[in-house]
Chain A
């Protein structure tokens, strides 16, 4: 561990989140990536925050009336309007002279698809809102239907693999590029596997004056077909293969990436999940799809310059991993 990364226990404790915006006792599935991500986001954001939540798992598992897991003011309206509801809250607080930050929260369906227009409008108008997309790559709340975020070749209940199909025919929408093209002050991707990186991005996004966007990769054990205990491993492999690059963009320009120390083959990531099981069959098309997905990962590594040259405490193997010298307390 290098000197610049040492920290006293007292400092470490001081930096631990003491505020939980989303408390335990909710009804998320075992190993739910979204529940973890939402807890991390609210911990990092602190108490002077109000949440606009789109319809989806998060809304359902946290608020079975008359119970609620939220210790933050929280408003759920409908599926496709989280960006607009957040914009209205922000306009009101601004007019009232309040410091409360507004965070919109939605899944990939509420962001890539049905809430996309409201999100785009909110960004264009420059509302001081952090929009967090928890991306589990399908409509999980309704039973695993394909969304604009579902990766190519993944099987879902509406993009099933069969004799005539190898799962989803279309590509995953490149949402962060589209969002960044709004030239907002800050857009970033994060993963539940890289906790301190995620927290840092939340804090940075909230310091920005204007709209910010955080796209968090959040595995769904039920929808992806992996063990609940494997959530972090699966999420980490998505980053380490290059399939889900961790990047930051300011005013549309790429400003930072998390380097990948040793890129892993996409097979390692895909083989853990039943949604890609058909890619490991004897079907000759399976090999083609595997090669295709590997090419997508290689492309990400190339265009974002993800390949680290030296061991780095903040790369894909160092970050959040104390044993490897990561910056756990960041």
Chain B
């Protein structure tokens, strides 16, 4: 069904189609509209679910963890400081191999305080052991959310669906909402193999000595790597039902034969696609959409980057004192084969707009000599007097 929906509203509807039994959330901009819409669906009797309005994000993740372990499909959503506050529990959920889905409405992390979009929050949870999928648009956000539940439950791993705050969550557009029948056909009822049941008691979360810890962690790593093929398979299965796919692990758009590539995550992809039409005089680039950041699709990336002379990594986060986070990983993945020149840009930090003319300026800047890691659209006149 095609509807005009705000991104958050669409996400709430998509979550409801997955029939979660427990949703726990604490409000934070820009996640709020998602959970407000879920609360309303519950209040209106359109979603049979316990909406637990908790007193912190730490508890939101904890309630979802308890519910998922007790045998109910669970969901939560957050952003920014909320993601960081729940981070201790997020590591725990992943380590315990508990399936659940969370929407990260991506937002910058303090300080300085910013409520606007970048990817620093999700990137901070890179090593938590969650699957991370980034959405380029709201249709992908809907479809990825539904896929995420099945992915989580088939692998017994939690999945974070990353959706750009405001750019996607607060944008109204025409979207295809799948039918309940289609989702029910795709997503079987939740069944957790280790559900806490008083007739078959299990201990979950025991103390593990050095004799077993490495094996537990290695198993977790292996499960994430198994996720690589499962992400592709489920995207294909979803396409069978709806005719829509989200690009598996890595999707190449733009000009596939171009020698210059731009790798990015999230909604900026649409901007770059539009910009290539607007600035037709600028050579078209190969656009590489990184959909799965964890597990990291090294092989798919190598294929997507084959034949490139220059690869621009354009990301909405960075590691202070280090450089581009995704860029560093991409370089590592490409190491040992014919390497393109990799130019790393941090862009759109704290909600700084990435306009259409970013595209020609980016192509131009990448051709210049300016170091391996740069800030895109840095305004020298806004730096403290005397520069850095």
B62 and A85 contacting across the interface, CB-CB below 8 Å: yes
Stretch with Cβ within 8 A of A (4 or more), from B136-144, B206-214, B250-258, B285-293: B206-214
A73-B205 CB under 8 A given contacts A91-B72, A95-B72:
no
A71–B196 alpha-carbon span in the complex (Å): 12
Q: For A92, what are the chain B residues with a Cβ–Cβ distance below 8 Å? A: 21-22, 50, 66-68, 70-72, 74
- Given A50-B198, A100-B198: A84 and B70 interface contact (C-beta under 8 Å): no
Specify which of A70, A91, A120 lies most central, judged by the most chain B CB atoms within 10 Å of its CB. Answer: A91
Task: Return the CB mask of A70-99 against B: 1 if under 8 Å, else 0.
Answer: 111111111011011111111111111000
**In the complex, which residues of chain B have a beta carbon less than 8 angstroms from the beta carbon of A81?**
58-59, 62, 89
**Which listed residue (B70, B200, B201, B204) contacts A88, Cβ 8 A?**
B70
The verdict on B224 contacting chain A, using a C-beta distance below 8 Å, is no
Task: Kindly state the separation between the CA atoms of A78 and B65 in the bound complex, as whole angstroms.
Answer: 11
Contact of B58 among A72, A80, A88 (CB under 8 A): A80
- Inter-chain contact B206/A63, CB cutoff 8 Å: yes
Cβ–Cβ contact B55 & A124, under 8 A: yes
Bound-complex Cα distance A76 to B95 (A): 12
Residues of A with C-beta under 8 A to B193 = none
Q: Is B69 an interface residue (CB 8 A)?
A: yes
Q: How far is the CA of A86 from the CA of B48 in the complex (A)?
A: 21
B209: chain A residues within 8 A (beta carbon):
64-65
Q: Are B62 and A96 in contact (CB under 8 A)?
A: no
Contacts of B66 in A (CB 8 A): 52, 75, 77, 84-92
Q: Residue B24 at the A interface, CB < 8 A?
A: yes
B36 at the interface (CB under 8 A from A): no
Residue of B nearest to A63 (CB): B206
Indicate the member of A65, A90, A117 with the most B CB atoms within 10 Å: A65
Q: Is the CB of B67 within 8 A of A88?
A: yes
Task: For B26, give the chain A residue with the smallest CB separation.
Answer: A121
**B63 touching A85, Cβ below 8 Å:** yes
CB distance A50 to B70 under 8 Å?
yes
CB of A118 within 8 Å of the partner chain: yes
B240 within 8 A of A: no
Q: Is B56 part of the binding interface, using a Cβ–Cβ cutoff of 8 Å?
A: yes
Residue A48 is within 8 A (CB to CB) of chain B in the complex: yes
Taking CB atoms, residues of chain B closer than 8 Å to A87 are 52, 54, 59, 62-63, 66
A54 to B98, alpha carbons, bound, how many Å? Answer: 18
Asked, given contacts A88-B70, A91-B72, A96-B71, whether A73 binds B202 with beta carbons under 8 Å apart, the answer is: yes
Q: How far is the CA of A48 from the CA of B198 in the complex (A)?
A: 5
Question: Which of A52, A73, A86, A93 is most buried by chain B, counting CB atoms within 10 A of its CB?
Answer: A73
Please judge, given known A-B contacts A74-B201, A78-B89, whether A93 and B70 are in contact too, CB under 8 Å.
yes
With both chains docked as a complex, state the minimum distance between the C-beta of B47 and any C-beta of chain A, in angstroms: 12
Question: Considering the complex, which residues of chain A in the window 87-144 have a beta carbon less than 8 Å from any beta carbon of chain B?
Answer: 87-96, 100, 117-118, 120-121, 124-125
What residues on B are CB-neighbors of A228 within 8 Å?
none
Looking at A65, A71, A77, A124, the one whose CB has the most chain B CB atoms below 10 A away is A77
Please tell me if B64 contacts chain A, counting CB pairs below 8 Å: yes
Given the known A-B contacts A92-B70, A121-B54, are A73 and B196 also in contact in the complex, defined by CB atoms under 8 Å? yes
Asked whether A77 and B59 contact (CB < 8 A) given A48-B198, A70-B203, A89-B196, the answer is no
Query: Given the known A-B contacts A50-B70, A85-B66, are A75 and B205 also in contact in the complex, defined by CB atoms under 8 Å?
Result: yes
A3 to chain B, nearest CB (A): 39
A52 to B203, CA, bound (A): 10
What residues on A are CB-neighbors of B92 within 8 Å?
A: 77-78
A76-B198 contact, Cβ under 8 Å, with A118-B55, A121-B56? no
Residue contact B70 to A65, C-beta cutoff 8 Å: no
Which residues of chain A come closer than 8 Å to B203, judged between CB atoms? 63, 68, 70, 74, 76
CA distance A75 to B48 in the complex (A): 26
Known: A74-B204, A75-B196. 20 other contacts (CB 8 A): A49-B198, A65-B212, A71-B201, A73-B198, A73-B200, A74-B196, A76-B204, A77-B65, A78-B92, A85-B66, A88-B24, A89-B70, A91-B63, A91-B67, A92-B70, A96-B72, A118-B55, A118-B56, A121-B56, A125-B54
13 contacts across the A-B interface (CB closer than 8 A): A73-B198, A73-B202, A75-B66, A77-B92, A78-B89, A80-B58, A81-B58, A81-B59, A84-B59, A88-B74, A89-B66, A92-B67, A100-B197
